[in-house]
Structures are given as C-alpha cells and as structure tokens.
C-alpha cells in the first residue's frame, strides 16, 4: 500500500511540473520573439500559468511586452547569483516575464565555471511547480545561453522564415541538439519547425516548405501544419508593448498564432498522456 501511494505521488509530481519550451534558430529575424510573445499571451488568456524567459541580450521579449528592460533586474542577475529567480519575475497582463538586457552579452566569458550548462535548469527548478508552461526566447546564436535553454527544456520549436539562409541556420542546429541530448538532457525533443512570414502565393515559400520537410526529417520531427502569414501588425505590436494577439486580434498573423497554439497544445497533451 505504501509503495502504491508513493507511485501516485511520483506521478503527480512529474505532471505538476511546467512544460518547458525553447524557441530557437541561430538565424535572426525568423520570428522567435514574436512567436514567444504570442504563445505567452495566448496561453495566459486561456488561464494557463505561463512564464516567459528572455535569454537574448537584445531584450526584445521583455520590451515587446511593455517592460522597461534597462531599469530592472534581469535573468543576468539570477544567473550571476545576484538575485533569485522569483525576485526578478515581472507580472504583466500577458503572463509572467523574466527580462533580459545587454549585460547578458558577456555570458560566454563570464559563465565559465564547471556545470555552466545547468545554470538555467537549476534556477528554473525553484519555480517550475508554479507554472503550466515556461517559454524561453534565445539569441540568434548557438552559444552557452542557447545550450542552457536546451538543457533546461522539454522541447524545442524552430521558427523558420521562407528563405534559404533561414534553412541553413536550421540545418546547423542538429549537431547542437544531438550533443545536448547525448550529454545533458536525453529527453529533449524537437516538437517541430514553424514556418513564419509565409506567403503561399510565392514560389520560394513553397520551395522552402518542401526543403523544411527534409530538414525536419533529419531532426526526427515535422513541419507544423499551421503557417504564420505576414502582416504589418507583427512589426507594429512590439512598439505598443503587446503581442500581435492582443494588438491586432483580427489580423492574419493573430489568427495563425491562435491556430498554432491549439495545434501545439494538442500535441503536448498527446505527449504527456
């Protein structure tokens, strides 16, 4: 009877943890931050407890959701052990956010102690019971910040614009993902490739979609059914401190991100059940 109770408690503990997703692509301008802010605000609107973590020294995620990133403690302070993670969480109308700023740009040199790949994972352990989802935005690079995100995560989503250079960035992710899975986080999986800035009328978009399917197979994943269309609201929303879902809910990108969020949560439910 004691063993049975222990087993039930173990199952409850496993599934009470947040599901941690990292948005990644070493190519910039592919929609990582827009996708992060849309997922955070969209899931929060569904009454999910969501934490967004900005690991990009540019600080675009916090800025996009209305945070004054230069006058507040950031993820850098927590990673340097100057603050606890709970002390730097900012509560917004769109979910909880841990911002970043340019101080994080020295991470590769500053975070040089043994076990540096696990800094973020160890920090998140203090709050992961408080959330349903943790969404991590990463810099357009494969550096120690990106590796920290991979080590801490359950899954990766790879936003990709319909252009050849974006494709090259995705193909170079495979080696890093394989290394992290081998040495640091063997349950990490790639949930899929998300095509952004998509225009179905362009031949290039169709060609890139076909090539993305080939890359997805190399990563043992797939291309999400939802494609995120282009729209001026995507560029305008950050200036207003909102995600595109709240700034322009009737726009094409907002509709697409809503569909994507539903596709994603269905996939995660299937994985966890």
CA 180 to chain CA centroid, nearest Å: 16
Average pLDDT over residues 136-140: 94
Does pLDDT of 273 surpass 90?
no
Reported confidence tier of residue 171, pLDDT bands at 50, 70, 90: low
pLDDT for residue 117: 95
Q: In terms of pLDDT, which residue wins out, 23 or 211?
A: 23
Residue 42 CA to chain centroid, in angstroms? Answer: 14
SS3 content of the chain, % helix, strand, coil (to 5): 55, 15, 35
User: Which residues on neighbouring strands pair with residue 160, listed in sequence order?
Assistant: 195
pTM value is: 0.90
Q: Residue 97: what are its φ and ψ, rounded to 5°? A: -130, 135
Burial of 79 (0-12, 13-18, 19+ CB in 10 A): buried
What integer is the mean pLDDT of 68-89? 91
The residue that leads in pLDDT, 226 or 166, is 226
Average the pLDDT over 71-79 and give the result: 92
Q: 155-160 and 133-137: which strand pairing?
A: unpaired
pLDDT band (50, 70, 90) for residue 166: low
Q: How confident is the model at residue 212 (pLDDT cuts 50, 70, 90)?
A: confident
Q: Which residue has the higher pLDDT, 72 or 184?
A: 184
Q: What pLDDT score does 128 carry?
A: 93
Mean pLDDT of 204-208: 73
The pLDDT score that the predictor gives to residue 211 is 81
**Among the listed ranges 7-11, 90-94, 122-126, which one has the minimum average pLDDT value?**
7-11
CB 155 within 8 A of CB 24: no
Tens digits of per-residue pLDDT, 239-261?
A: 899 999 999 999 999 999 999 99
Average pLDDT of the chain is 88
Do the Cβ atoms of 231 and 54 come closer than 8 Å? no
How would you label 175-211 residue by residue, b for 16+ Cβ within 10 Å and e otherwise?
ebbeebeeebbeebbbbbbbbbbbeeeeeebeebbee
Pairwise CA distance, residues 24 & 176, whole Å: 11
Q: Which helix (H) or strand (E) holds 195?
A: strand 189-195
Q: What is the pLDDT of residue 173?
A: 84
């Amino acid at each position: 009877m004691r063993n049975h109770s222990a087993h039930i408690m173990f199952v409850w503990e496993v599934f009470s943890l947040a599901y941690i997703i990292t948005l990644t692509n070493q190519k910039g301008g592919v929609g990582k931050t827009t996708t992060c802010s849309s997922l955070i605000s969209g899931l929060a609107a569904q009454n999910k407890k969501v934490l967004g973590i900005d690991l990009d020294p540019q600080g675009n995620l916090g800025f996009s959701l209305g945070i004054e990133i230069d006058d507040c403690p950031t993820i850098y302070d927590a990673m340097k052990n100057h603050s606890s993670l709970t002390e730097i969480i900012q509560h917004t109308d769109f979910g909880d956010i841990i911002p970043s700023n340019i101080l994080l740009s020295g991470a590769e040199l500053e975070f040089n102690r043994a076990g540096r790949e696990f800094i973020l994972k160890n920090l998140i352990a203090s709050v992961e019971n408080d959330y349903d989802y943790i969404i991590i935005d990463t810099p357009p690079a494969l550096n120690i910040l990106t590796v920290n995100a991979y080590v801490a995560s359950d899954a990766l989503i790879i936003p990709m614009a319909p252009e050849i250079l974006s494709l090259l960035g995705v193909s170079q992710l495979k080696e890093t993902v394989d290394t992290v899975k081998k040495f640091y986080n063997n349950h990490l999986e790639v949930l899929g490739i998300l095509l952004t800035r998509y225009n179905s009328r362009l031949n290039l978009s169709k060609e890139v979609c076909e090539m993305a399917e080939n890359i997805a197979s190399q990563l043992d994943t797939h291309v999400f059914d939802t494609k995120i269309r282009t729209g001026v609201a995507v560029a305008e929303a950050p200036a207003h401190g909102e995600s595109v879902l709240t700034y322009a809910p009737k726009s094409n990108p907002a509709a697409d991100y809503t569909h994507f969020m539903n596709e994603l949560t269905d996939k995660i439910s299937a994985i966890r059940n």
